[in-house]
């Protein structure tokens, strides 16, 4: 018992000075001249429900599932400037209610925007604009006259993000919220008989 207590005491004595030194050395000053550009990349895989009605292909409602992948790149190029790139692809397969035909959907989005970035050691706020183009190809298995249609959409988005960092010991926890809402946009969808 005495040997175990002595070993425990020796380990505590060896670790204690390093813990004190680590606590004393954590003072870091934020300096803009120390900035170096960096990139944050995120991947989002989503699965959900899809509802389609394309009067060019069929005047019936189609219901089904879709799968999409979005890759977002945030390039912080200067202390007060960021670029954001969004690439996404989606696939969906739907069936009409009488189950007599299926409609497939393949779409994608490409966007590139820029904005202002404010930050300090614990928080950052990003606000800017992001123009994007969306293209979608829909095909109907039953319609032999109009087998496919192409939709196109151009949108200007308001892009805003707020991040707050909290340090607990040597671990940093981040809380972030990203808002993207349309300011103006236009869409091309073919109409039946056009």
Q: Where are the domains of the chain?
A: 32-188
**Tally of CB atoms within 10 A around 34:** 9
**CATH fold label, 32-188:** Porin (2.40.160)
pTM recorded for the entire structure: 0.71
Over the stretch 83-97, which tens digit does the pLDDT of each residue have? 999 999 999 999 988
pLDDT digits (tens, 9 = 90+) for 2-32: 666 556 565 555 554 444 444 444 444 445 5
Q: Which two tokens stand for residue 87?
A: 């690439």
User: Beta-carbon neighbour count of residue 160 at 10 Å?
Assistant: 15
The separation between CA 49 and the C-alpha centre of its own chain, rounded to angstroms, equals 19
């Amino acid at each position: 018992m005495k040997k175990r207590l002595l070993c425990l005491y020796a380990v505590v004595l060896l670790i204690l000075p390093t813990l004190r030194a680590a606590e004393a050395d954590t003072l870091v000053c934020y300096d803009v001249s120390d900035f170096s550009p960096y990139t944050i990349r995120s991947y989002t895989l989503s699965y959900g429900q899809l509802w389609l009605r394309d009067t060019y292909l069929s005047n019936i409602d189609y219901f089904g599932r879709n799968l999409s992948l979005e890759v977002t790149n945030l390039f912080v190029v200067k202390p007060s400037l960021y670029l954001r790139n969004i690439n996404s692809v989606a696939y969906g397969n739907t069936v009409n209610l009488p189950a007599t035909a299926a409609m497939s959907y393949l779409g994608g989005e490409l966007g590139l925007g820029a904005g202002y970035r404010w930050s300090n050691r614990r928080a950052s706020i990003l606000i800017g604009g992001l123009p994007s183009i969306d293209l979608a190809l829909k095909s109907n298995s039953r319609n032999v006259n109009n087998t496919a249609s192409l939709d196109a959409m151009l949108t200007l988005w308001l892009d805003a993000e707020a991040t707050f960092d909290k340090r607990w010991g040597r671990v940093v926890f981040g809380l972030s919220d990203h808002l993207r809402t349309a300011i103006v946009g236009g869409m091309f969808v073919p109409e039946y008989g056009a």
